[in-house]
Amino acid sequence: MGLLETIQGPEDLKALPAERLPALAAEVRDFLVAAVSRTGGHLGPNLGVVELTIGLHRVFDSPRDRLVFDTGHQSYVHKLLTGRQDFSRLREAGGLSGYPARAESEHDVVENSHASTSLSWADGLAKAFELRGETDRRVVAVIGDGALTGGMAWEALNNIAAANRPVIVVVNDNERSYAPTIGGMASHLATLRTTREYEKLMDWGKRSLGRGGVPGRLAYETLHGMKRGIKDIVAPQGLFEDLGLKYVGPVDGHDTDAVEHALRRARSFGGPVIVHVITQKGRGYQPALADDADHFHAVGVIDPETGEAQATSGASWTSVFADEVVEIAATRRDVVGITAAMRIPVGLEKFAQAFPERVFDVGIAEQHALTSAAGMAAGGLHPVVAVYATFLNRAFDQLLLDVALHRAGVTLVLDRAGVTGPDGPSHHGVWDLAMCRLVPGLRLAAPRDAPTLREELREAVAVEDAPTVVRYSKGKVPAPIPAIARVGHADVLEGPAWATGDDVLLVAVGSLVPRALDVAARLRAHGVGVTVVDPRWVVPVDEALVDLALGHRHVAVLEDGCEVGGFGWALAARLRERHCLTPVHVFALPQEFLDVGERGAILDEAGLAPQDVARAIVEAVAQGSGQQVRSSEDPEDAASPTSGVPRSEEFPSR
């Protein structure tokens, strides 16, 4: 039995002799590489915090002392040390979450995996403990230097420093978030790291003094006399101390004794303290250290020996955007890119390589990104702000009042829109459609394939007097889906209704178009006439699409956002305004937090499986018409969209 298997909780860890800790750390790293290479997940961040997490659980008494992990992508070691060592279904339905999860363990506090929040959580917990008279409880927030680029972290520090509550802020400094940390805070921490060089000089002087001799004594006395000046230059920890925070560090985050000693000092202070721990992302895994560490921040299934990713086929939505935005930038010098610490994941790396002076990484600061973009637009540029759809939630006020109110020509590109899958409720991008619909003047497009993504991106950056949004899902782009006609801004994919007397107008948003075509084939197999339309631009609702809906007995909408405030909701409202009684059947996501799971399975469970949608529409048509719908076979067994369903010839090919 290995050491790791004997650790079922923090008490087992505390009982382990200190000299066994390096061996335990090595076992943890071996476990992580083997497990995460099979399932995918956040590998680099966890390899970097092994000794730090061991130290936290040896010094503090979780769950009575509360450990809050910022973002939470470095919590795998925490899970292992608190009795959760079955990683066989990591980030899958029924398995361990990739982030802290309160349903899994009493040791998990915060499961929101958005960055820069941990210090506010810690401040709130400390205030609660104080008011309840639980003054012996400590709160520890583990925050990376990347997350410290977020303004919310500094709002919290301002409050933490103003009180004398026992809050320990552990800064896990590995010089990067997903990518290298940028900005003034990064420069400050880089300067603090040079303290170690100062300490080396002092140690050399002391050793020389111990051996005797004038050179050693002179060296030590000179360094000691210069102590204040040197520290002011190479270790300006005053930034923290001037706020009222004690400062401990920098500490070698891979020295178990040093980490534990620093944490015990911090615990003994009884007030707010910063512990500055320097770690190495990807520690102990040669592929992560030999290559760009950013590629090992989060991995899919990889070869554990080489770190090479499992081969995949087909282009991703992100890669199509990455290529197209570079082509646009080559012809338009006013187009610039903005990313919030995720240049590679959102597809701006090629843009940055081609035009390095025109791509701006603002750190984990989506609010700043949007208002800075508004300023750029006011200065004559056209910013393209690329973020995950879930992170747009953090900058709604800036989108509304800084961008839209000022009619700024800013294009937002929302990656990972809709259901994302393995990262769970905080990463599903399901709120953007409803949220953006509230913004006056905003226009939002949802491409269905690579050609429409390229087309709609160019249309978006051509708008100079309002914000535009292009959203797409995670994963591979489907094969091109040609249109047979364009009505207004919408593409007719199957139909049309008024030439054939079809029953249903089936409207599909973006990535759900392939499902809609599947549904249409099932409906036709049951004698239900159907026209399939991709609205392309879903905010605002196109009046031509409203006119098209007026000619149908039923309208059905498939979308991968929340039902309330979504496209179907808006289309139904427009039809009511036109005094149209045509029923609108909306197939969207429920108003709830969706759990971890495979994207297709989550959509199916939400009622968006093609057979379920087809069955519901068949029943609605039958009830509405009073006619018997042919039911020789269940919609579940009906033909697929590739079964040769004829198209109307009324619309010429484009």
Q: Does position 587 have pLDDT exceeding 50, yes or no? A: yes
Q: CA-based angle 44:45:51, to the nearest 5? A: 110
Which residues neighbour 224 within 8 Å (Cβ) at sequence distance 6 or greater?
202, 205
Which residues neighbour 637 within 8 Å (Cβ) at sequence distance 6 or greater?
none
Is 133 annotated as ligand-binding?
Answer: no
Domain 4-179+243-296: CATH architecture, name and number where available: 3-Layer(aba) Sandwich (3.40)
Mean model confidence pLDDT for the chain? 82
Question: For 485-637, which CATH class?
Answer: alpha beta
Residues 414-452: tens digit of each pLDDT: 999 988 877 777 788 889 999 999 999 999 999 999 999
pLDDT at 189 (0 to 100): 54
* C-alpha–C-alpha distance, residues 71 and 93, integer Å: 21
Residue at 617: amino acid letter: I
Residues 170-188: tens digit of each pLDDT: 988 876 544 555 455 555 5
Residues 365-411: tens digit of each pLDDT: 899 999 999 999 999 999 999 999 989 999 999 999 999 999 999 99
C-beta separation of 351 from 329 below 8 A = yes
76 against 637, higher pLDDT: 76
Q: Does position 239 have pLDDT exceeding 80, yes or no? A: no
State in Å, rounded, how far the first CA of the chain is from the last one: 68
Is 73 annotated as ligand-binding?
Answer: yes
Which residues have a catalytic role annotated?
281, 366, 394
pLDDT at 291 (0 to 100): 53
Burial of 293 (0-12, 13-18, 19+ CB in 10 A): buried
Average pLDDT over residues 208-235: 46
Determine the 3-state secondary structure of 412 from DSSP. strand
pLDDT at 461 (0 to 100): 98
Average pLDDT over residues 567-577: 93
Question: For 317-471, which CATH class?
Answer: alpha beta
Q: Does position 122 have pLDDT exceeding 50, yes or no? A: yes
Is 366 annotated as ligand-binding?
Answer: yes
Instruction: Give yes or no for a cis peptide into 250 (omega within 30° of 0).
Output: yes
pLDDT at 238 (0 to 100): 56
Is 46 annotated as ligand-binding?
Answer: no
Determine the 3-state secondary structure of 273 from DSSP. strand
Q: 214 is written with which tokens?
A: 């004038």
pLDDT at 246 (0 to 100): 85
Nearest to 240 by CA among 204, 199, 276, 278: 276
Is 382 annotated as ligand-binding?
Answer: no
How confident is residue 453, by pLDDT bands cut at 50, 70 and 90? Answer: very high
pTM: 0.78
Q: Does position 166 have pLDDT exceeding 60, yes or no? A: yes
Is 349 annotated as ligand-binding?
Answer: no
Alpha-helix residue ranges (DSSP H) falling in 162-194: 184-193
φ, ψ at 445 (rounded to 5°): -115, 150
Q: CA-based angle 157:162:167, to the nearest 5? A: 60
Domain boundaries, the chain: 4-179+243-296, 317-471, 485-637
* C-alpha–C-alpha distance, residues 520 and 614, integer Å: 8
Burial of 616 (0-12, 13-18, 19+ CB in 10 A): middle
pLDDT at 25 (0 to 100): 92
pLDDT at 402 (0 to 100): 93
pLDDT at 333 (0 to 100): 96
Is 285 annotated as ligand-binding?
Answer: yes
Cα 369 from chain centre? 16
pLDDT at 652 (0 to 100): 27
| Identical fold between 317-471 and 485-637 | yes
pLDDT at 641 (0 to 100): 35
Residue with tokens 């006609």: 485
pLDDT at 540 (0 to 100): 95
pLDDT at 151 (0 to 100): 80
Give Cα separations from 454 to 327, 347, 419, 457, 459 (angstroms): 10, 14, 22, 5, 9
Nearest to 389 by CA among 557, 561, 509, 541: 561
Instruction: For the chain, give the percent of residues with pLDDT over 90.
Output: 47
pLDDT at 190 (0 to 100): 57
Count of alpha carbons within 13 angstroms of residue 260, beta-carbon side: 16
Give the 3-state DSSP-derived string for 553-605, with helices as H, strands as E and coil as C: CEEEEEEEEECCCCHHHHHHHHHHHCCCCCCEEEEEECCCCCCCCCHHHHHHH
Determine the 3-state secondary structure of 66 from DSSP. strand
Q: Does position 636 have pLDDT exceeding 60, yes or no? A: no
Average pLDDT over residues 147-169: 86
Is 76 annotated as ligand-binding?
Answer: no
Q: Does position 292 have pLDDT exceeding 70, yes or no? A: no
